[in-house]
Chain A
Amino acid sequence: MLELALKGSKRYYGWIAFLLVVIGIGSTALIDQWMNGLKITGMSRDVSWGFYISQFTYLVGLAASGVMIVLPNYFHSYKTNKHMVIFGEFMAIAACIMCLLFIVVDIGQPTRMMNMIFHPTPNSILFWDMIVLNGYLFLNLLVGWTCLQADRQHLPHPKWLKPFIYTSIIWAFSIHTVTAFLYQGLPGRHYWLTAILAARFLASAFCSGPAILLLVMMLTEKFTTFKMAKNAVKTLVKIIAYAMCVNMFFFALEIFTSFYSNIPGHMHPIVYLFSHATPGLVTLMWVFIAFAAIAITLLVTPRFRNNYKLLPWTLGILIIATWIDKGLGLLIGGFNPTPFETVTTYWPTLKELMVSMMVYAVGALVVTVLFKIATEVKEEVGHSQTLPCGCSSEDTCECAPEAE
């Protein structure tokens, strides 16, 4: 099926070329890092993880979130999602690849990476993280590819695949739990030392991940003949709404525990992030709170939730909010205050951002190619195509486009 990715419109090739250029530009910073070491980053003795690891953390959420489409389909026989499952799986593949790349660019001696396999160390969570990430990547490749191939040949999905699908659903929860454990079990890092961290990670993943997926799907609709079924979108938006509420509820629990208990170690990171950090970071943290509030308001109000003109903005706001919280604040808050109760500020350098941009561009490239293949197959077999009225061929269309 790979050949489907090779023929495309001028615009498709233009986009691919653009991504390749971005990757090329970013790789100059990476080569610099290989030549000179991680000193080109803003990390330090006190803040030993930075932007790379925080992006990794955020993207594990994206990888895990595909399950929010897959699970209803297989566990609840919610067949409306049927034709979107493949996109969730393909998104997970891209996210896993980005996660692995972020780890590779973050380590100081990438040539020794295989030491993790030659000297397996089950007491290290990083070892398990490697296992679950690679496992999840493999499962999604296997399931996604096999299902799509079967679809293309108008065959039912093979029976032997079932156990892999169910495993992959459970596995999705595990990847984000294990990633949370990476942070959660460290003494002396109060912001992370909380039993609810894994739950927070999952809640945040299950709102931000589907939101990103939905935005990408909307773009896909623009450029292809694919059309999401209305009910599938509705369900997904509801899932996003619930997960975001839970996410912010968990955050509130952290605030209560820290401040009612009045334990300095637990209060310091929060006080730091929301008032003592650099003005830029403090502003961002408050933007997180404001955007989270706006996103929740828009999502829980049916009138706004069902307004598909507004929806992309709502999703965008939600993604920004969760990204600031998990892709930035979580990491910086964990390292500040330092073990000496002092503060060493951290901010990514331009080169660090360039390398990250490169990894994101690789991810975008993988998504583009995989989604291209998927939409081509869907077009071939006539699944979920746009009808002249704008509905999906999966909808029961009464053809009053605004009708609920």
Chain B
Amino acid sequence: MKNNRRAFIKLAGIAAAGLAVAPKALASSGGHSPVSVNPKAVHAKHWAMVIDTTKLHTAEEIDKLAAVCHHIHNVPKIEGKKEVKWLWHDTYGHSFPEQENPHLAEEVHHRVFPLLCNHCENPPCVRVCPTKATFQRPDGIVAMDYHRCIGCRYCMAGCPYGSRSFNWGEPRLGLDVTKLNPEFPTRMRGVVEKCNFCVERLAVGQQPACVEASEGAMFFGDLKDPDSEVRKVLREKFTIRRKPSAGTEPSVYYII
């Protein structure tokens, strides 16, 4: 009985989704509804992040930040190669494959590096998306509309950094329902997701959650403002970005 009902609700859901697509699509292509901007929201011409890997380089530290990010964004925990992750860690060789050498400073070799979407200035994921479900905001953030994504996974093939995850199954099964963050939506299966530079926090004047939790090891600010903190750090420290040869101009910089 219970099973039947579940199956029915699922089917009804599929049918309703089909019906829902048409009017929504028409509505969203039209004019804009009046919205009032939160006066506390922070703005930038181009958001960027600098990560000081001399301060933040152990798996435990990075996993702690990932836990914060994954918790506030309701990112499901799924084991194995179908996992979903927004922030994670990996070795130097995997993070910067083109910039490796066999005699790397031992200390760097043993570090691990926090990885996330680079919010590229020239993002191939946006270029290839057939529905504009992935789009670039005027402030440089590469954002996603989970309700528009058709799950073609073209953006995953296009991203040269492996920054995107797909919900191969029902993501809510990988969530602890008692610990959901009610402020952020959960996803449905069959859509892609990734780090969103915490747009929902910027909109209310907060810093990205990982930056806030990093205790000064990560910086976030306006790349186009010469007086911003990120520019100050970039001026003073040697930084690299991932896969420069891909021409995507990542907005995440790493102090080595």
Query: Which of these binds chain B: A38-46, A202-210, A372-380, A396-404?
Result: A38-46
Specify which of A35, A43, A124 is in contact with B128 (CB 8 Å cutoff): A124
A sample of 24 inter-chain contacts (CB < 8 A) reads A35-B10, A43-B168, A44-B81, A45-B82, A48-B153, A108-B150, A108-B190, A109-B149, A111-B17, A111-B18, A112-B149, A112-B150, A114-B25, A115-B21, A118-B25, A118-B26, A121-B129, A124-B127, A126-B128, A126-B130, A127-B130, A186-B157, A187-B247, A340-B94
Residues of A in contact (CB 8 Å), total 48
Residues of A within 8 A of B165 (CB): 45
Residues of B in contact (CB 8 Å), total 56
Decide if the interface of chain A is mainly helix, strand, loop or mixed: loop
B167 x A116 contact (CB < 8 A)? no
Contact with B along A50-73 (1 / 0, CB 8 A): 000000000000000000000000
Nearest chain A CB to B160's CB is how many angstroms away? 3
A338 to B80, CA, bound (A): 15
Please judge, given known A-B contacts A39-B82, A188-B246, A340-B97, whether A124 and B18 are in contact too, CB under 8 Å: no
Residues of B within 8 A of A118 (CB): 21-22, 25-26, 29
A265 to B179, CA, bound (A): 43
Nearest chain A CB to B187's CB is how many angstroms away? 11
Residue B185, interface by CB 8 Å: no
B25 x A119 contact (CB < 8 A)? yes
A113 x B150 contact (CB < 8 A)? yes
Complex: chain B residue closest to A36, CB-CB: B169
A341 x B97 contact (CB < 8 A)? yes
A109 x B191 contact (CB < 8 A)? yes
Please judge, given known A-B contacts A108-B166, A339-B159, A339-B161, whether A116 and B247 are in contact too, CB under 8 Å: no
Specify which of B131, B190, B246 is in contact with A37 (CB 8 Å cutoff): B190
Residue A189, interface by CB 8 Å: yes
Specify which of B26, B81, B169, B189 is in contact with A45 (CB 8 Å cutoff): B81
Residue A352, interface by CB 8 Å: no
Residue A9, interface by CB 8 Å: no
Contact with A along B1-33 (1 / 0, CB 8 A): 000000100100010011001100110010000
Residues of A within 8 A of B168 (CB): 37-39, 41, 43-44
Please judge, given known A-B contacts A119-B131, A125-B128, A187-B246, whether A114 and B81 are in contact too, CB under 8 Å: no
Most buried by B among A34, A186, A335, A344: A186
The residues in A between 1 and 48 inclusive whose CB is less than 8 angstroms from any CB of B are 34-39, 41, 43-46, 48
Residues of B within 8 A of A301 (CB): none
Residue B83, interface by CB 8 Å: yes
Residues of A within 8 A of B95 (CB): 340
The residues in A between 147 and 166 inclusive whose CB is less than 8 angstroms from any CB of B are none
